[in-house]
């Protein structure tokens, strides 16, 4: 029973790792209008994911601030 539970716990982690490998971050698409190739500037996939998360966090923070200002009025 314990072995079955351990195998079940490992499968989602394996699937998530495969999905992360398949989903590559294209910085040129994420930050359009730059005069240089951002993917060549940041070849490390970990850095690309970090930059993608930073952009998503910035968008979420801006949305939160906008909603906060609307509630004050």
Question: Using one digit for the tens of pLDDT, what is the confidence trace for 20-38?
Answer: 555 788 999 988 887 889 9
State the sign of the Cα–Cα–Cα–Cα dihedral 12, 16, 17, 18: positive
Structural domain includes residue 66: yes
User: pLDDT category, 73, cuts 50, 70, 90?
Assistant: low
pLDDT digits (tens, 9 = 90+) for 40-72: 999 999 999 999 999 999 999 999 998 887 766
Name, in order, each residue with C-beta under 8 angstroms of 20's C-beta and a sequence gap of 6 or more. Answer: 49
Tally of domains within the chain: 1
Q: Rounded to an integer, what distance in angstroms lies between the CA atom of residue 68 and that of residue 72?
A: 6
Task: Give the range of the structural domain holding residue 66, as residue numbers without chain letter.
Answer: 25-73
- What pTM, to 2 d.p., does this model score? 0.58
In a domain? residue 5: no
In a domain, 36, yes or no: yes
> What DSSP string runs through 3-46?
HHHHHHHHHHHHHHHHHHHHS---HHHHSTT-SS-HHHH---HH
- Whether 20 maps to a domain, the answer reads no
């Amino acid at each position: 029973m314990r072995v079955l539970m351990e195998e079940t716990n490992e499968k989602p982690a394996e699937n998530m790792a495969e999905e992360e490998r398949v989903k590559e971050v294209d910085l040129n698409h994420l930050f359009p209008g730059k005069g240089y190739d951002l993917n060549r500037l940041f070849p490390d996939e970990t850095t690309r994911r970090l930059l993608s998360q930073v952009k998503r966090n910035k968008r979420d923070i801006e949305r939160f601030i906008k909603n906060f200002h609307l509630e004050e009025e």
